[in-house]
A and B are shown apart, each in its own frame.
Chain A
């Protein structure tokens, strides 16, 4: 079954501390993974995708096919990182691709 699992509903860290938001997936094909973020009173938007291998706002995510994970990491959390984070998987279905989202993790960065 195709599935994205984000085990933590809420993650609280202190400013300056490292943060890791966990994401595990289940998919028989070649995975295409994303992290989307929703800041307070803003739209859900793309944060990063694994094919770009980029660092956005200090966040990185590495695809680990052995562990079927795509955890989001930042070495030093900032208060402005407080938001809702969703991991997503692009899956092939009926000749096209659609998204499967995880249930999301709310990150709170404490002063």
Chain B
């Protein structure tokens, strides 16, 4: 498919465990974003990768959260020692580049539930 894909679609884990969420952006898109979507909080920016530049990590809520983007394509968001407040839908988006006014394309999200 040509769209952004994410896996898994659902993840249930126990408090204290680590989880990895994966995002496959649209081929050729140099910009990749991670967001967290939760009730009452809307869409919360987490991290932004653009080309070979250092990622913008200003949205990561704690040092338990980290993300990598390998080879300028696939990205993995890792949450260590998960807490119940980490339960949310994690969305990935990509765009052609980091130009002004560029459109973002979103994946279907990963629903994370921490018990």
Listed in ascending order, the chain A residues whose CB lies under 8 Å from chain B are 6, 9, 32, 34, 36, 43-46, 49, 51, 86, 90, 92-104
Contacts and interface: CB of A to CB of B under 8 A. Distances in A.
B56 A94 contact: yes
A20 to B, nearest CB: 19
Interface in B26-82: 31, 33, 35, 40-43, 45, 48, 50, 53, 56
A67 B36 CA distance: 29
B45 A99 contact: yes
Contacts of A34: 103
A96 B50 contact: yes
A50 B109 CA distance: 26
A86 B42 contact: yes
Contact of A90 (B56, B100, B105): B100
B33 A99 contact: yes
A45 B106 contact: yes
Interface of B: 3, 31, 33, 35, 40-43, 45, 48, 50, 53, 56, 91, 93, 98-109
A9 B106 contact: no
A95 to B, nearest CB: 7
Contact of A9 (B33, B35, B40, B103): B40
Given A93-B56, A103-B41, A98 B103 contact: no
Contact of A103 (B43, B53, B99, B107): B43
A92 B48 CA distance: 13
A46 B105 CA distance: 8
Contacts of B43: 44, 86, 101-104
A45 B95 CA distance: 12
B31 to A, nearest CB: 8
A31 to B, nearest CB: 10
Nearest to B42: A103
Nearest to A50: B101
